[in-house]
Amino acid sequence: MTAPLLAQRPSKALVIGLVVSGILALLVLALMLISGGPAGFALSAVLAVAPLPVLLAAVLSLDRLEPEPKLHLAFAFAWGAGVAVVVAVGFTLLGQQLFVRAGYGAAVAENMGTVLLAPVIEEALKGSALLLLLRRRREIDGLTDGIVYASMAGLGFAAVENVGYYLLAFGEDGVGGAIQLFVLRGLIDPLGHPVYTSMIGLGVAYALTSRSPARFAAIPLGYLGAVFLHALWNGSATTGSLAWLGVAYLVIMAALVLLIVVTVVERRHLVGKMAVYLPGYRPTGLVTDQDVRMLSTLSARKAARRWARGAGLGRAMSDYQQAATELTMLHLRAERRGMDPARFAVERDAYLGAMAHARRW
């Protein structure tokens, strides 16, 4: 919950990007409907959308401690579904044609497009959503933020791409072919694109939050990591070998575990920092020793929300905890990057005002 005083007006560029991306995604889906027919498109769309609620809930659950603006999350998703899909398809087809003109056969050109061109092009385009958000630096406060934005771009891309793949499978092998492909893409490996692009998200977030002189090297390194994971999966699928697919799957799952560990460690670090910064606000009467203990561990925060719900104060407790979290993030930003004292005071007072409004115990 960001205090109203501090709510940033959405930039025109962000709104335009969201609208353009949404229109492009709808145009792609309309072309699929026309080319594949209503029956095949309907089945493909259902299969592509079916896992989305669970996947979105999983990604957004990482963002519960310090939620990102909904407009920015929507932009990342729409960018992946619209601009990234359209431009990636165009450049990949162009690259395949160049291979054909160079004397390679159609089969070789298709495999090169799948294993080499697609990972290089798609990850660059999905990751560009993170680079476009760099202008809104204050929204990327940690590695978890980078993972969340990257995952949203990956989910948007995968949703539209999967409709196309399922439609092709339906055209070749009917309903059975589409469902068989859904088992692989929608059930066994539904987090492929979010995991790949999260490597870029880690790189961008590290570059923004670290003090290391070489911090910006993390962005190309993250991109290379994303391309590697993507190419590994596509290459394994191209071989048709279950053994290679198994190896690729294990590597991607290891990357997923790494991402989860990063978010858990960062969340615990942030919560722990509340015990460092918040005691300084005891004189305001808005933070007591009991409040600090309640805020500085995840289990205590959860227990406090449970008690508050029983007392009819559930929303007030959530708002108080969120404002206290934002206040702690403000101190961390000032510590990492420095901040104009007047600006710091304005933001601090706004968060304290939100805490005062919410605190009823």
> 123, exposed or middle or buried, with CB in 10 Å at 0-12, 13-18, 19+?
buried
At position 114, the amino acid (one-letter code) is: T
pLDDT bin (cut points 50, 70, 90) of residue 338 is confident
Residue 150: count of CB within 10 angstroms of its CB: 34
pLDDT reported for residue 10: 67
Nearest to 225 by CA among 252, 193, 206, 199: 199
Q: How far apart are the first and last CA of the chain?
A: 19
Give the whole-angstrom CA distance, residue 149 versus residue 127. 9
Give the whole-angstrom CA distance, residue 223 versus residue 130. 11
Is residue 209 within 8 Å of 194, Cβ to Cβ?
A: no
**246: which residues sit within 8 A by CB, 6+ positions away?**
none
Residues 80-113: pLDDT tens digits?
999 999 999 999 999 999 999 999 999 999 999 9
Residues 110-147: pLDDT tens digits?
999 999 999 999 999 999 998 887 766 666 888 999 99
Pairwise pLDDT comparison (125 vs 11), residue with the higher score: 125
What pTM was computed for the model?
0.90
Give the whole-angstrom CA distance, residue 15 versus residue 12. 5
Average pLDDT over residues 305-313: 94
Is residue 251 within 8 Å of 232, Cβ to Cβ?
A: yes
**What tokens were used for 60?**
């957004």
Residues 164-221: pLDDT tens digits?
999 999 999 999 999 999 999 999 989 999 999 999 999 999 998 888 888 899 999 9
* Alpha carbons within 13 A on the beta-carbon side of 63: 23
Q: How far is CA 79 from the centre of its chain?
A: 12
Give the whole-angstrom CA distance, residue 244 versus residue 193. 19
CA-CA-CA-CA torsion sign (33, 38, 40, 43): positive
**What tokens were used for 333?**
């930003």
